[in-house]
Structure 1
Amino acid sequence: MTSMGKTRRTMSAGLVGAALALTLAVPARAGETPTAATDVRTASAGDRQHVPKTGRQPVPATDRQSTPTADRRPAPALGWRLAPTGTDARFRGLAAVDRRTAWVAGSRGTVLRTTDGGRSWRNVSPPGAGELEFRDVEAFGARRAVVLAIGEGEASRVLRTEDGGATWTESFRNTDPRAFYDCITFFDRRNGLAMSDPVGGKHRILSTRDGGRSWRVLPDRGMPDALPGEAGFAASGQCLVSAGPRDVWLATGGAATARVLHSADRGLTWTATASPIPAGDPARGVFGLAFRDRAHGIAVGGDYRKDQPSPEAAAGTADGGRTWRPSAAPPPAYRSGVAWLPHTRTSALAVGPTGTDLTTDGGRTWRTVDTGSYDTVDCAPDGSCWASGEQGRVAHLTRHRP
């Protein structure tokens, strides 16, 4: 995923109207391409932006949201338009740079990049990475990116590129057989963190201060003890997310309680808060987080097993994660990824294998707007949103008028 590139912008009235019009949109059938669809677009930021993950979309200083009165045509409906990748890899790692540029990372060491809005994809996979499972990617434009491979011991690695994937450098390889890294996030172009499942009874945090060129394990004195069975989920690249220059959140499951841990000093000290999303099983808990600023966040999850219900799959916070409130009308099933719609204060999308859901009230209520399968979702500062998942599925958000 991506985050950063927080250049302040004023959102176009047309895009605001399109975002709000999702409340009126007719759900598209899975994998269906809307007819006469038009890309949701604003000015491209290109290589000048970094995009670290979840909810780190720019928020205007004022909250003026209005639909232009001059346009009396039916409100545009939004839906996913598939951007064929030519592969069947499963892409759980996604970085939306802008409406033209996105990176995806997934199974069998696969990394793809588009610079033309998904019309074509270039395979920029690291040589010899076929045995690796990439689950997260952070991008800093069309040329710079960092990917995380997950797994026990040396399977957990970090690789980076500065030339659009033409060459890659391995900057970290885990040598502790007890560690299993799940997610990565960046505060800016230089400072970032990665998280591992508990080692010695505490979650392990890896830190970089040079854009991913080098990494060090942070001391765990400020990390609360892990609960029995507690771990992160490497399902969408959103179990570790940041907002602003210092705040970061870590999502867990598997234990009796699903928790969200928060640090306000780039991972040195943490506080843990119980979430209302059910846990109590290795397959249940919080799978994805999104924060639009250091106070307002959404958590999604549930039980990833297809035959198990997920009745309370979302929750929200307005105090930086100190308290969490369950959604009054949550998504109908397990959701692994979530992202705030750019430049809005109350609208977000959640995705999972059975569909996409929309909230327009900050996560209190959700409704399904698409039934296609996606594992993760990410939005860029220019207003564009992307989703990716199984069988090589990648899509970008489009709008069309009835």
Structure 2
Amino acid sequence: MCNIAPRSVNLQGICLVDGAHGWAVGDGGMILVTHDGGSRWIPQGRTEKDLRAVSFADTRRGWVCGRDGTILRTVDGGEHWQEQESGTPRNLYGISFAPSGRTGWAVGDTGTLLASFDGGVTWQPQESGEETHFTRCAAVDDRVAWIVGKHGRILATTDGGATWVAQDSTTRTDLRGVFAVSADVCWAVGRAGTLLCTRDAGTTWVRADSGTGLDIYGVWASPDGRRARVSGDDGLVLGSDDGGRTWSPQPSGTGKDIVSVAFTPDALQGWGVGDDGIILATADGGRTWAPRLNGMHRDLVGLHGAGSSRWVVGQHGAVVVTADAGATWQGGGTGTEELLWGVHCLQDGTRGWAVGTGGTILATGDGGSTWTRQDSTATQHLFGVHFTTDGDHGRAVGAHGTILATHDGGTTWTRQDSTATQHLFGVHFTTDGDHGWAVGAHGTILATDDGGTTWTRRRSPAAVNLTGVHVVDGDRGWIVGREGTILATGDGGATWSRRDGGTGADLWAVSFTASGDRGLAVGESGTVLATADGGASWSARESGGSNSLKDVWISPDGVSAAAVGDGSLILASADGGETWQPHVSGTGKNLYGVHVFADGRDGWVVGDGGTVLSSRGGERWTARPSGIATNLYTIAAAGEGTAWAVGRGGTIMVTRDDGASWQAQDSGSDKDLLSVHMRPDARTGWAVGDHGTILATLDGGATWRPQECPRSGISLWAVDFADERTGWAVGTEGSVLATRDGGATWQLQDSGSTDDLLGLHVVDARTCWAAGDRGTIVTSQDGGGSWQRRDSGTTQNLNAVHFGPDGRLGRAVGRSDTVLTSGDGGLTWQAGATGSGMSLWAVRVVTPTTSWIVGDEGTVLSTSDGGATWDQHFYSPEKDSTVRR
């Protein structure tokens, strides 16, 4: 199994100081800055915590906030960020400072409200009188500010936070963004196209017609109050130039969610940020938008550099290229979904080759802008590639001892006799193209002195997989491998001896300078080793993270270096690997729904952007083409190869051929559908969602008919049935609905909670469990006649709950890697974690030992030992790419 977990860099907030200077923040502690109006975005110091909002008073003083109470402060424009003591472990989603830079507020989970009156040096709690979740805040000056949150909550202060007064927003819809123009004028936006404005300091809030049912997250308005812009789901951007009376769509050119938007006071220059690290820019008030940075949601495993060029390859045909030593990166389309393992570029920065699964060889002659497939004559996976400086002579190595050679730049490739059957993971040649080495599984070392015409096996002092090799001349070379293995030769590979790297971590790649004095090796958990004495001694360097690094390159003069790894991570060094800075390259899709079959090995996963993954055997998750870019929230399977997925805007998709193809079904609704349940007959099912939407089908989804919800205005987050007649649905403000007649009628039941209930599992017609905000777990043991609260021991939001077939082992998952486990039928719950650090959205308990969990940023986790340990899985294109290096 490959322990690779895609990691994302979704951007969550943006702040502009003027037309030149701006900051954006996002997942994984990412902070980006621009000093040239957004032409170039540069990463600044980062924490590991996800960041959700940013506020600057001027070009020097700024603040960011995020997960687990994180608040960072800078007084030098972000050159240095200092972590502040917030006094809370709760997630913070909004931060805003007055123009003076003295007074500011931060808000978050469960009514968390913090204030600072000394520029963010110290923070103290303020009493909001609320326990709802706050999402954003906006400060006008040192005395006036607004807060918005779930269920339409709006609070305001006019005395610097001494008192906060609830205002009537006229809606129960969750609010996601707020922008204060003055002490009188303020805008608030939220779910389902909600757009509110007050012009009398909040005495009255008036709803504007946004003309959309999509969720709105970002909002901005000009100082005169006439011009306003909002952003949201699926690339939504709306603009108004008449004070918000009318709104018009502004095509953004992307289908990614745009979470935050900001403009200069003249409303001409603007930026939007959002999913997959996207940054959009406009210079004409939003009439036209252009991308400044796009994400890829792919792990990166191959790297090569030449001059100022760096070329990177990875999952799903990913290719990222820089021509300016990493200042800017461009993602290119290769036209393939294959996993690309290796890449080589020439000194001119225009010609290059990439290799991958299924014998894939791609070539480019224009710096990576376009790629063409070359006929490798092989079907084996190819893991490494190397070319001579003239670009004519190249070799590629791969599975089962495969070695391919070309002498015409890849026009033709021929197989060479390696005399080996082991997988070969790396290959490297001297500049003359005569002397080369290939390394692979079980300590395999092969050498050639005639350009690969003949290969000879060399004795290896290590029996572990050898994964990387680098040679500088006919005598000196180095190899790295599993369990911290480092080997060196000084006699052309006739003998190899061990070197002590001081680590037991798996090492994946090695690179040396032209002189052979300085070298770098990288590996799992962010491992970086450096040597300055030709590999005689090695010492660790701090990479700044824990993502596994899969390849490394150091320039011939030892000045520049780069490394790539999991989660689209690119690291760059300007001092030969002594210090490293992250470069933004991409992101992973959030995964919301999982369905695992009784065998514990086969299943489905769905998520953002129409993502559909399937597993057949549990060792590999394969991306399936859903044909849509719409977010999918849950999936339910019924019968062999048949499954339904539901999502945004009333989307219902069905497959009857094990995911090979998906067809849209007409739901008759434009509301987001958040949960689906299908009976084993593959004909009877229900779907629920926003605005009390309940749909039912009796013919496998050929027709979906609405059912009446007994409570208006609520969102239903989950639905589950015990049989064809008995079922429940749960939703906002503790709502529980029950039916005994297949949904012909639904009745409200008293859950005893006012917290949003997000997860539901019906064990049988009498036993039901629900989980939700603030650690809420409630259960009914009498068919819904009464509901009792269970002590979860946490205040984290819980997104899902599920029990195993015996009804005794149960798990609940939620925000910030929260995992709760019960072994006594839900009477008591114990806290745990997977180690992923991600928010977790769905869980399935299959057996007492086997469970599956999915979550943010491509996280797919499983346990086979009852939760003692959790394995992270990676997903791949259609062909098998599960070879572990």
For this structure pair, what is the TM-score category when the shorter chain's length is used for normalisation?
Answer: 0.5 to 0.7
Q: Distance between the aligned counterparts of 2:252 and 2:217, measured in 1?
A: 18
Paired position in structure 1 for 2:837: none
Unaligned runs of 5+ in 2: 1-12, 22-29, 297-566, 570-580, 585-885
* Cα displacement (A) at 1:224: 2.8
**What's the TM-score once normalised by structure 1's chain length?**
0.62
Which 4+ stretches in 1 moved above 6 angstroms?
A: 1-5, 31-34, 390-395
Paired position in structure 2 for 1:357: 280
Which residues of 2 match residues 3-402 of structure 1 at below 5 A? 39-40=35-36, 78-85=39-46, 87-127=47-87, 129-130=88-89, 132-140=90-98, 141-150=100-109, 155-176=110-131, 179-198=132-151, 203-218=152-167, 220=168, 223-226=169-172, 230-233=173-176, 239-253=177-191, 255=192, 258-279=193-214, 285-293=215-223, 294-302=225-233, 310=234, 313-340=236-263, 342-354=264-276, 355-371=278-294
Pick the structure with greater CA Rg: 2
Q: Distance between the aligned counterparts of 1:121 and 1:244, measured in 2?
A: 30
Q: Deviations over 1:145-199 (max 9, x none)?
A: 211123xxxx2121112234443221124445xx33222112222111112333x
Q: Distance between the aligned counterparts of 1:165 and 1:243, measured in 2?
A: 22
Give the CA RMSD over aligned residues.
3.4
Q: Distance between the aligned counterparts of 1:118 and 1:331, measured in 2?
A: 29
Q: Distance between the aligned counterparts of 1:115 and 1:272, measured in 2?
A: 39
Q: Choose between structure 1 and 2: higher strand proportion.
A: 2
Q: Distance between the aligned counterparts of 2:16 and 2:292, measured in 1?
A: 28
Confirm or deny: 8 A CA contact 2:14 2:273 kept in the other structure: no
Q: What SS does the aligned partner of 1:108 have?
A: helix
Cα separation, partners in 2 of 1:136 and 1:77, compared to 1, 3 Å = closer
Q: Distance between the aligned counterparts of 2:204 and 2:294, measured in 1?
A: 40
- What amino acid maps onto 2:272 in structure 1? A
Q: What SS does the aligned partner of 2:95 have?
A: strand
Confirm or deny: 8 A CA contact 1:2 1:137 kept in the other structure: no
Paired position in structure 1 for 2:389: none
Q: Distance between the aligned counterparts of 2:135 and 2:229, measured in 1?
A: 19
- What amino acid maps onto 1:187 in structure 2? V
- What amino acid maps onto 1:195 in structure 2? V
Cα separation, partners in 2 of 1:207 and 1:358, compared to 1, 3 Å = same
* Cα displacement (A) at 1:394: 11
Confirm or deny: 8 A CA contact 1:288 1:299 kept in the other structure: yes
* Cα displacement (A) at 1:326: 0.8
Aligned residues: 279
**What's the TM-score once normalised by structure 2's chain length?**
0.29
- What amino acid maps onto 1:323 in structure 2? T
Q: Distance between the aligned counterparts of 1:89 and 1:296, measured in 2?
A: 35
- What amino acid maps onto 1:369 in structure 2? R
Cα separation, partners in 2 of 1:81 and 1:225, compared to 1, 3 Å = closer
Q: What SS does the aligned partner of 1:172 have?
A: coil
Q: Distance between the aligned counterparts of 1:114 and 1:368, measured in 2?
A: 28
* Cα displacement (A) at 1:344: 3.6
Q: Distance between the aligned counterparts of 2:126 and 2:38, measured in 1?
A: 43
Q: Distance between the aligned counterparts of 1:206 and 1:394, measured in 2?
A: 39
Q: What SS does the aligned partner of 1:336 have?
A: strand
Cα separation, partners in 2 of 1:244 and 1:3, compared to 1, 3 Å = farther
Unaligned runs of 5+ in 1: 6-10, 20-30, 41-75, 234-238, 280-284, 303-309, 374-389, 396-402
Confirm or deny: 8 A CA contact 1:2 1:139 kept in the other structure: no
Cα separation, partners in 2 of 1:88 and 1:126, compared to 1, 3 Å = same
- What amino acid maps onto 2:222 in structure 1? R
